[in-house]
Every structure is written in C-alpha cells, then in structure tokens.
Amino acid sequence: MPILQDKTILLTGLLSNRSIAFGIGKALKREGATLAFTYAGEAMKSRVEKLAPELGGGLIMSMDVTQQDEIDGVFAKLGREWGGIDGVVHSIGYAPRESIAGDFLDGLSRSSFMTAMDISAYSFAALGKAARPLMKGRNASMLTLTYLGAVRALPNYNTMGIAKAALEANVRYMAASLGPEGTRVNGISAGPIKTLAAAGIAGFSTMLKNFAAANPLRRNITADEVGNVAAFLMSDWASAMTGEILYVDNGFSQMATGLDDGGVKPSE
Ligand code: NAD
Ligand code: 0WE
C-alpha cells in the first residue's frame, strides 16, 4: 500500500535528473503523493517544466528563496489550489564558490557568509513560517537536506558547513515551534552524490572514490536511496519522529576511519 496517498507535498530544489530532489520526487510520487514544484528564478523554469511530468506533474511556481514576495506567492497559491499542505521538502543550498574551496579563512567574507546563510539556512525557517497556517492540524511534515560538514570540519566545505550547522539547529527549533500544531520537522544528512551542485567542486570525483572505500557498504549512495528515506519521513509511519537528523550515508559518519588498516600508510 502506498504510504503518501492523499498527501499534498511541495517539492523544492529540482534542477536536473541527478538532483536529490528528483530522487525524492520519484519516491514521493511512487508512494501516491500529489506534488507541486518550485524553481529558483526564470532561468530555471524550463528545466523544472521538463522534469515535473516524470514526477506526475502539478503546479510549477517561481521561488527564489532570497525573495520574500516569491515565498509568500507560492503559499498563497497553494492555499487557493490545495486548501492545505501536508509536506514541504527543502532541497536548496548555495554558497559563493570561493567560500567552499581551499583554506576556510582565506575564502571567508561577510557577504559570502550571509549569502550562504540566507539561501541554505534561513530559507528553511522562512518556508516553515509561510507554510505554517496551511500545515496546521494535518500531521504535516517538513524535510531538509544537510551534510556531515555541519558537525565536523571537512576539507573545502567551509562556509557551507556553518550554514548547515545553522540549518540543523533550525530543524530543532522549528520542530519545537510547529510540534504543538502536529507538524514534524526533520533533516536527512546525505553522503556525497554527484549532482549539479557537486559537479562544480574541484576534486569531487576523488572524494566519491574515497567515500566508497571508507564506508561500511563500500559503495556510493544514490538520490533514490535518499528518496526512500524522505518518503518515510514525509509519511505517517514517522509520526513520532521530529527534530531529527537521519544519516543516509552508508554508515560513513559512524566510523572512525572506515579503512581496514585504520588509515595508516605502510611507510608510517
Ligand atoms: P542541485 O544542484 O541539484 O540542487 C540544488 C538546488 O538549490 C537547485 O535546485 C537550485 O535551484 C537550488 N537553489 C540555489 N539557490 C536557490 C535560491 N536562491 N532559491 C531557490 N532555490 C535555490 O544539488 P543537490 O546536491 O541535489 O542539492 C540539494 C540539497 O542537498 C542541498 O541542500 C545540498 O546542500 C544537499 N546535499 C547535497 C549533497 C551532495 O553531495 N550532492 C550531500 C548532502 C546534502
Ligand atoms: O551541500 C553541498 C554542495 C552545495 C553547494 C554547491 C555549490 C557549487 C556551485 C553550494 N554552493 C555551491 N556554489 C557554487 O558556486 N554538498 C553536500 C555537496 C558537496 O559540496 C562540497 C563537498 C560536498 C560533498 C564542497 C566541498 C567539499 C565537499
């Protein structure tokens, strides 16, 4: 039996068929959800228009999360079309390139920090605030995507790591705020996946190789695997789970080195 029958869910962050949002969308559709979609500004519109039919189609709206009027417009429209919302998936992240490469402090600037915080962390709370009246009393569920760099200092992730730490705190405060209205708020911390956001990062292929070698399942993870966990969290099967960060990373974050030899090179 499908687990999201009769659920209306807003899916953000679709950009390509490799997007984590695309893997999530496939699982949500398979489980019976009715979807609506957003894109980040006019230049991205046609991309989402091409992908949405594969996810069962539905409303497609512009929502650059730096524009409050666009956020308000999306939920006003969903109020008219659906009357209420059962779920919101936030799959959005961005930091200026120079702030997610090389030395952390070398790449740091007030403006890149604020951009990363605005788009990658503030926006999730902004969606919660705008969607709140439409979700109230429906056992609704909100979900965001995060990364291990929120809780560990990892090479190059830098400014994004700080934004993800704020995003994870956001999950907990939003869970506290929306819980009394029946709305749950959770995050998935996904292992590395070669999406468009990742393709532009120097050394990403090497990172994928090292990740596969060092996690218990000895392979990479897929957006479809993230999608299955997302479908569970959006469903009533997860009715007692809120304020959580679930790791979908083949167990990587739970290992000390993950390497059979403990990571010691033969010469050392
Ligand atoms: P992606 O490039 O497919 O998606 C990123 C999305 O962010 C795009 O749809 C883009 O339009 C959107 N976006 C950027 N700026 C925006 C704005 N101002 N307003 C609205 N939307 C905006 O890449 P992805 O890897 O699928 O990323 C989705 C989420 O997953 C991000 O939060 C990312 O940090 C997170 N994540 C990715 C990985 C990975 O390795 N790919 C791992 C863990 C978490
Ligand atoms: O969250 C992310 C990446 C998000 C991202 C990607 C880009 C590339 C293009 C945010 N901003 C930008 N800005 C751009 O100009 N991930 C979890 C994937 C990722 O990104 C890394 C990683 C991993 C993993 C960056 C450095 C090191 C590891």
Q: What is the pLDDT of residue 262?
A: 78
How far does the centroid of ligand 2 lie from the alpha carbon of residue 100, in Å?
Answer: 7
Ligand 2 atom with minimal separation from the 164 CA? 1
Q: pLDDT tens digits for 141-153?
A: 999 999 999 999 9
Residue nearest atom 14 of ligand 2, based on CA coordinates: 97
Q: At what angle do helices 20-30 and 223-234 cross, to 10 degrees?
A: 50
Catalytic positions: 147, 157
How far apart, in whole angstroms, are the C-alpha atoms of residue 79 and residue 59? Answer: 12
Residue nearest atom 7 of ligand 2, based on CA coordinates: 197
Ligand nearest to the CA of 126: 1
DSSP string computed for 182-222: T-EEEEEEEPP---HHHHTSTTHHHHHHHHHHHSTT-S---
The pocket around ligand 1, CB under 6 angstroms, is made up of 13-16, 19-21, 40, 44, 63-66, 91-94, 119, 145-147, 190, 192-193, 195-198
* Per-residue confidence in pLDDT tens, the chain, 268 aa: 899 999 999 999 999 999 999 999 999 999 999 999 999 989 999 999 999 999 999 999 999 999 999 999 999 999 999 999 999 999 999 999 999 999 999 999 999 999 999 999 999 999 999 999 999 999 999 999 999 999 999 999 999 999 999 999 999 999 999 999 999 999 999 999 999 888 888 899 999 999 999 999 999 999 999 999 999 999 999 999 999 999 999 999 999 988 788 777 666 5
Ligand 1 atom with minimal separation from the 21 CA? 26
Q: What is the pLDDT of residue 265?
A: 67
How far apart, in whole angstroms, are the C-alpha atoms of residue 167 and residue 219? Answer: 27
How far apart, in whole angstroms, are the C-alpha atoms of residue 237 and residue 90? Answer: 20
Q: What is the pLDDT of residue 177?
A: 99
CB atoms within 10 A of CB 243: 16
How far does the centroid of ligand 2 lie from the alpha carbon of residue 138, in Å?
Answer: 34
Ligand 2 atom with minimal separation from the 158 CA? 26
How far does the centroid of ligand 1 lie from the alpha carbon of residue 261, in Å?
Answer: 35
- Name the DSSP letter for residue 90: E
Closest CA to 245 of 192, 188, 191: 188
How far does the centroid of ligand 1 lie from the alpha carbon of residue 197, in Å?
Answer: 6
